Amino acid sequence: MTGSLFLTALHILPLNFFMEPIAVALNYVTKEHNYKQIVMTGISGGGWSTILYAAIDPRISLSYPVAGSVPFFLRDVDWGDWEQNVTDLYRIADYPELYILALMERAKAGSDSQ
């Protein structure tokens, strides 16, 4: 069994290792403080996490991934870490769709950020 298949087989979702710490931190910060806007940035795996998390949580008003995303149609070979090649995720949405989802979620949440 491969590593990701093994983890999934044990009912552990590998993406939770990336997304859950962000959600926990953001829940704590928004409960304890009254920020007008939340901005997220990251480099490499953190850039990838920034892309995905901004797409699923409308509380992120601006996001700046420094590295970690190259849409599949621009790649000439498979490269990157596991999270950059999660085929089950990218069957649903590739990077351009994730970028658009991040923008749409902010619009739905009524964010006044530009």
- Distance in angstroms (rounded) separating the CA atoms of residues 89 and 95: 10
Q: What confidence category does residue 12 fall into, taking pLDDT thresholds of 50, 70 and 90?
A: low
Give yes or no for residue 11 having a pLDDT over 70: no
Share of the chain above pLDDT 90, in %: 22
Q: How much is the pTM? A: 0.74
pLDDT in tens, 18-28: 899 999 999 99
- Tell me the per-residue pLDDT of 58-93, one tens digit each, with 9 for 90 and over: 899 888 888 777 777 777 776 677 777 776 788 888
Angle (deg, nearest 10), helices 16-32 and 45-56? 60
